[in-house]
Structure 1
Amino acid sequence: MKPVDFLGGLKSTMEFQVFIDPLLVNSQSESALGSVTDRAREMAQGLHETYGQMKALADLGELPYSLHIARLCLYETLLSTAMVAAHERTGQMVPSELDLQNASVHIKEMIEHVGIQVLYVTYYYVVGHDLLQPFAYHKEMTEYDFFIGVRHYPYPAENLDIILPIALYRRVLRLQHRDGERVLAITKSGTRVYSWAHQCLIDSNYIEKRIHLSYVYQFDAVKDWDELSHTVWPEMDQARTDYIKWLDLPSEQSMLEVACGTGALTFDAGLYQHAATRGHLVATDSSVGMLEQAQQKHRKYGAPITVSFELASVERLPFPDDTFDVCIGSFFLHFVNPHKAISEMMRVVRPGGIVSVFQGYDFDVNKPFFKDWFHPILELTGNLNANSSGHFNANNRTTYMPSAENIPAWFHEVGLEQVRLDLHSSPWVFDNPDVVVQHIVRGVSFFQKELHELPWDDRRAVIEELIQRGQDVRRKYPVGERMIELPGVMIQGAKPV
């Protein structure tokens, strides 16, 4: 591997189930991870003693060797790989001893097949990308702000202290003296390196994986989802109830609900009643936080024994083929690979069984109030016209919802038969700015790709700006002009017999 084959290195990490994410490791406090960090350091030191000696890293080309970075590479790669595995297995970010051991095995396999230098170079450019991101956005910052991590959270200062001399040596940053201050600025070479590294991260699906992980973290953190949802979608409970009636399911079914969230469809809309006394309903979600809220609702509804819960992703359902009579889910396709999700849903139902989804689809956001409120993010999307009028281009949609045509096409593509559908819409009320921004950014997670382009601190600044702009919009537009009809489709198909 040539030292600049970053894309090849990223693909190797994916192949060997290794995930390099210093941001993930450093965003979790050591108190939360407990003794896991000490064990990870111990295991990483063992890897370093076996594979990480300087002579093994001779083929680095122009990249400098740093003992500190070599050790950090193994420690943060080991821990982030184990954390992702733990989250997929348990929904929690704290890995077990087995997760750490498995991560170590994956790293060893990668090193033995492609070499330690591939891992080191890949780590080097992931860190370099994160280092340059704030400079690509702001162009410069004082050296003091750099070292205290004003725009590089959650990277610790001691790591930035090591990285800066390398960045100056590589001439991706330059140090200037201005008005008695030492100022760091990105160079033309640094801009090119950042753009190239960012494209490699996109092409390897690394960015997509980071964003996907952020969806789950956000849902874990949302403790008041039902309250948020009821405020912005006041008629959604009725819409879900209408959906269950539309399905016209017989009682005593063996059912699987995917992406159950807080149990709005499970309990509030009455899905559990179709399990009756001899049926059963398994409700799944990939977020521990959402499942905990669903379990609280389970107790509220009398803890029916016909309902159970399981942590699971709709893209990797832990059930044998042909297990359920019905597999159902609502408002989740925009968070996952929809084709893979629907295929999995079909796999686990019996021949002749039903697969059904209630899903919102793409809608026109070319509304005056919406453009005023969300202008900072719409500008990031590149969906503002290049002309001087600056009007939002209604032909480019930014909601990340599937189109109305996509959803039935996916059902047919995976092989479902007897597909039928019905359209439904519900009002989306844009009133309380704090609630609306939380709902859009943390809840339905629109604009995650755009926010991911920003340095960590700037994401928070944009969110604060959106809340302030929402207050201005609320004063400027009457409530009747601050609404969008959210279109949805109820669809079901049958697995071939």
Structure 2
Amino acid sequence: MRMFIFPNLSNELHAMQKAGIVISPWLAGLSGEGRLDAALYHTMSTRTREFAHVHWTEEERVRVLHHLPSPDRIPQIAAHEIVASTAVCLAHERTGQVDVDESLVDEAMNRVNQFVTESSFGTLLQLYMLVTSWENQNALRHFGEIPEREYVLGSWHRPWVDYSLGEELMFAALLGNVEIIERNHHRFVRLTEEGRLALERASAMLEQAGYFKQRLQFLRISQFNLYDAYGQVTDEIWPDTPQQRKDFVRFVGVKPGMRVLELGCANGPLTFEGGLAEAVKPDGQVIAVDPSSGMLARARTKQQSLQIDRVEFVHGRAESLLFDPGSFDLVLGTGFLHFTDLKQSIPEMTRVVRPGGMIGSWHPLKANLNVPFFREWFAPLFALAAKRAEPPRDYLLDSEVVRSEMAAAGLVHIEERSMPITTLFHDPVKVVNHFIRGVGWFSEELAPLPWKAREDLIDDLIERGTFVCERFTPEERIFRFPGQAIRAKRPVN
């Protein structure tokens, strides 16, 4: 029965992602503030309710559910949630904020309508039910059981919803995926064995379709968009980086008059304080790219205050650069390469640099984390990894991988320099918010956790950090990441 409701939807998931449709991005850690004002929310609710009423026909119901009873509110909720989610995603892309205006709702509605026209409303509903059932069942697997009231409210695993999950609970129980037990006059929801098998199948399908990868990318970008304290805290935690950025500009050979593409520019620490814009004077140009619209907005504000006109900020990703081949004399960036897919980003960097031009990067490398203060502070992350008998997952690179990918892209004269990154674990709140909520270190480890488990773990890290800072001296809490500055040339022929 479950396999019938959720056939292999991998192709449909790919089509949904290609259409720019998102389901529940609030799982990425956004607060409930902002988004839509009351009037716009009411208008969108009316439009999505009418949309579902028109498209959820008896024919679609039979095709999707066959003999199962139709969950009355789920089609309406699905349309509402998908349009709202897509609009919030568009807001992140366009402004770096979570506030949604009418134009974004219109565009989200158009995307959903186009998808339904090309596929069907039933397919869209199946995708929604697949994703949300995974959220529900994954939480039950993690916690073992959830009080029925908390489950229905979604407070442990889907706090971004503003409706009851009671109908989803009843439908899951009808399918045999969950059961409700009573203990000491309290009711709890837990997975059945059938539910565990359904979760495994859903997880495999979502993994195959790249859903979890997209989910993680949105988690990183949304957190980075909303991280207002990045500039200040970065210089506190990495005190040597202001000078090291200047050293990197010299290392890669920035010269006056060059047209330079900077990737992962964030709020402009390399562009401005690092001297990149200054180095191309008087008639050079810097095009600075970042996937975080929030960071770009802060960079433009900084640019206005400094009154520098030879820099242009562009929203984009290193894996798909919207520039012609050979457009730049130099392509570079600091602290960005480890966030990218190297097999896409390095060939793209090579493509847009002219023959004879250079590409360069300075980035942290994987480090030995078996340091007393660090193991004690971040013990919960080590405990998660220990279940797989692995070190904690992070996005940092091994020392040889960049050189190897540069060579594979056809680059020559590859040179590198060790540029270690001194890191001060000085303030528990700032450190945890910077690494975990801000730049998303260990996001691979935390992303599969349900909302409440992730928030509880972050709170625990702050509390443990307070204790560690009392036990270890400031000198004992200094950590040095290996850092790799590397440059390479695109051959002339």
TM-score scaled to structure 1, two decimals?
A: 0.89
Q: Are 1:486 and 2:486 matched, yes or no?
A: no
Aligned alpha-carbon RMSD (Å): 2.7
Q: Which amino acid aligns with 1:260?
A: C
Q: Are 1:21 and 2:24 matched, yes or no?
A: yes
2:101, 2:28 → 1: CA distance? 15
Q: Are 1:400 and 2:395 matched, yes or no?
A: yes
Alignment of 1:55-204 (within 5 A): 55-59=59-63, 60-61=65-66, 64-93=69-98, 100=105, 103-156=108-161, 158-204=163-209
Of residues 3, 6, 10 in structure 1, which corresponds to 2:5?
3
**C-alpha deviations, 1:451-488, integer Å up to 9, x for none?**
12221122111111111111222223333332322111
State which drifts further: 6-15 or 359-368: 6-15
In structure 1, the residue matched to 2:308 is 304
Report deviation, 1:210.
Answer: 1.3
1:211, 1:25 → 2: CA distance? 8
Report deviation, 1:38.
Answer: 4.4
Of residues 453, 459, 464 in structure 1, which corresponds to 2:459?
464
**C-alpha deviations, 1:207-231, integer Å up to 9, x for none?**
1111111111111221121222222
In structure 2, the residue matched to 1:231 is 236
State which drifts further: 39-48 or 226-235: 39-48
1:221, 1:197 → 2: CA distance? 31
**56 and 153 in structure 1: CA distance in 2 versus 1, 3 angstrom threshold:** closer
Report deviation, 1:4.
Answer: 2.4
- State the SS of the aligned residue for 1:158: coil
Q: Are 1:259 and 2:247 matched, yes or no?
A: no
Q: Which amino acid aligns with 2:307?
A: A
Report deviation, 1:172.
Answer: 1.9
Answer yes or no: is the 8 Å Cα contact 2:88–2:99 preserved in 1: yes
Q: Are 1:245 and 2:250 matched, yes or no?
A: yes
Of residues 317, 322, 329 in structure 2, which corresponds to 1:325?
329
Report deviation, 1:399.
Answer: 3.2
In structure 1, the residue matched to 2:56 is 52
Answer yes or no: is the 8 Å Cα contact 1:90–1:311 preserved in 2: no
Alignment of 1:417-496 (within 5 A): 417-496=412-491
1:234, 1:296 → 2: CA distance? 23
In structure 2, the residue matched to 1:390 is none
Answer yes or no: is the 8 Å Cα contact 2:249–2:276 preserved in 1: yes
**C-alpha deviations, 1:37-90, integer Å up to 9, x for none?**
445445434543443212222122465422311122223223333443453345
Q: Are 1:271 and 2:239 matched, yes or no?
A: no
State which drifts further: 95-104 or 224-233: 95-104
1:220, 1:104 → 2: CA distance? 24
State which drifts further: 206-215 or 23-32: 23-32
In structure 2, the residue matched to 1:354 is 358
Q: Are 1:375 and 2:370 matched, yes or no?
A: no
- State the SS of the aligned residue for 1:58: helix
1:11, 1:73 → 2: CA distance? 18
1:37, 1:25 → 2: CA distance? 21
- State the SS of the aligned residue for 2:157: coil
1:329, 1:64 → 2: CA distance? 55
Q: Which amino acid aligns with 2:86?
A: T
- State the SS of the aligned residue for 2:164: helix
Is there any run of 5+ residues in structure 1 with no aligned partner, and where? 386-392
Q: Which amino acid aligns with 2:455?
A: R
Report deviation, 1:20.
Answer: 2.6
1:371, 1:409 → 2: CA distance? 31
Q: Are 1:316 and 2:335 matched, yes or no?
A: no
**31 and 102 in structure 1: CA distance in 2 versus 1, 3 angstrom threshold:** closer
**C-alpha deviations, 1:394-424, integer Å up to 9, x for none?**
xx46332011111111212222233222121
**C-alpha deviations, 1:215-252, integer Å up to 9, x for none?**
11111221121222222211111211211121232212
State which drifts further: 46-55 or 84-93: 84-93
**Matched residues, number:** 487
1:334, 1:452 → 2: CA distance? 17
- State the SS of the aligned residue for 2:466: helix
**292 and 30 in structure 1: CA distance in 2 versus 1, 3 angstrom threshold:** closer
Report deviation, 1:32.
Answer: 2.9
**C-alpha deviations, 1:170-193, integer Å up to 9, x for none?**
222222221122222222222222
**62 and 478 in structure 1: CA distance in 2 versus 1, 3 angstrom threshold:** farther
1:24, 1:373 → 2: CA distance? 26
**147 and 85 in structure 1: CA distance in 2 versus 1, 3 angstrom threshold:** closer
1:25, 1:374 → 2: CA distance? 21
Answer yes or no: is the 8 Å Cα contact 1:398–1:447 preserved in 2: yes
**47 and 309 in structure 1: CA distance in 2 versus 1, 3 angstrom threshold:** same
Report deviation, 1:371.
Answer: 1.3
Report deviation, 1:382.
Answer: 3.1
Report deviation, 1:198.
Answer: 2.4
**C-alpha deviations, 1:121-143, integer Å up to 9, x for none?**
22112111112232111111222
**41 and 372 in structure 1: CA distance in 2 versus 1, 3 angstrom threshold:** same
- State the SS of the aligned residue for 1:67: coil
State which drifts further: 169-178 or 263-272: 169-178
TM-score scaled to structure 2, two decimals?
A: 0.90
State which drifts further: 96-105 or 71-80: 96-105
Report deviation, 1:151.
Answer: 0.7
**3 and 182 in structure 1: CA distance in 2 versus 1, 3 angstrom threshold:** closer
Answer yes or no: is the 8 Å Cα contact 1:363–1:397 preserved in 2: no
Answer yes or no: is the 8 Å Cα contact 1:129–1:194 preserved in 2: yes
Report deviation, 1:105.
Answer: 4.9
